């Protein structure tokens, strides 16, 4: 019994071949750059939100009276 002759293995081989052909022929590079730019912008937005929230929490914590 040769595992390379199994239908599932053959299916995976054909699927991988199609994806490799599409990757070679397509313009995936431009898409990857767009995704990198979008990811970078989302990271900057998340960092800005984090800084704003941290500053508000620090200000609120400093305004708490702890003693006489």
pLDDT tens string 26-37: 666 667 788 889
Domain boundaries, the chain: 3-62
Instruction: Output the CA torsion sign for 49, 52, 56, 58.
Output: positive
The pLDDT, as a whole number, for residue 1 is: 57
Separation of alpha carbons 25 and 27, rounded Å? 7
DSSP one-letter code for 5? G
Predicted local distance difference test score (pLDDT) of residue 11: 85
Whole-angstrom distance, CA of residue 44 vs CA of residue 19: 32
Tell me the percentage of the chain whose pLDDT exceeds 70: 87
Residue 41, pLDDT > 90, answer yes
């Amino acid at each position: 019994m040769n595992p390379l002759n199994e239908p599932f293995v053959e299916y995976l081989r054909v699927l991988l071949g199609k994806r490799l052909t599409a990757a070679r022929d397509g313009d995936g590079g431009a898409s990857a750059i767009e995704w990198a730019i979008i990811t970078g912008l989302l990271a900057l937005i998340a960092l800005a939100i984090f800084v704003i929230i941290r500053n508000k929490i620090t200000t609120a914590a400093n305004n708490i009276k702890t003693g006489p």
